Structure 1
């Protein structure tokens, strides 16, 4: 009998330890979820602030690129999520945010949702790049490179248009590749020029098959 009691006590200890481990794991998961929710809310509020008021970007662009918070760069799917977050949390100024969103990305909200959901990655990249060319002061204030910046915006628009026009035809991958190559060349020429003029921006190489290197 005592042997059975000893085995039962050992079983209870093991069960208690496992229960504690499970509770600790649940608490860890809860803490992680809270941290993720806090981070997401911060990100959403940053994107909303940018959409609502462009002046929010001024301090962002006053620091060298390597020190900038990437949360402030235009990313279309993130901004779509920010608008949905505004709607879900009943935050005021939604129409103003939507108008700014459509001005930044050059397309109405409904079409942007379709694009993000269905377009290949390089098309979404073109949307993001065109948005950055639209509102980044380092592009907007560069009078010397104004024609080059206009050309880069046009190439981004042409890439997007190629995708829009191919819905019932074969995807024009070769044409898009050529335009992406031209865009990459112009972007690198622009940043090489910025590097020669000042160390403020630094030299930034762009590889459209991967990420920007700043």
Structure 2
């Protein structure tokens, strides 16, 4: 009913997060209806990104520069490294402007179900960076999932020889959150992480 080029576009779009086959069909149709204003510029931008975007050799971030713009920034606090699962987490922290140190992207989390072990993550280069005399603290900013917590334990074990303090992001009740709407795990983490006023 449709050409193989369109079918291939739909198949590729359906592999994106949040897009199933129906959403991919709608997106493909939308792109084709707006060929000059959207499809062509998008394909050019994707081709350029595919050619120029690389992983930073220092932290693992995605950028067209190497080292990336964060690592190359001379105003960054080099004594603190924030460890994240992927570049999306790094970008989220950057949007918040809550952190002015450097980062380290692991490239995922440990997952027995998906066959991801410690050797599949960017842990060895973190251990090397932690040995630098200027690094004083490693902040583990990993998701509060079973895989994230397992990864945090393995990273902590691997950093045992480095003379750095290791901390993690607080978990618990979000700002503006209502207790009635929170899941049991979040409430439990909040109770365990309580502090005096």
- Report if TM-score (shorter chain) is over 0.5: no
Which structure has the larger Rg over C-alpha atoms?
1
Relative to total residues, which structure has the larger helix share, 1 or 2?
Answer: 1
The TM-score with structure 1 as length reference comes to: 0.26
Structure number with greater CO (CA < 8 Å, separation at least 6) is 1
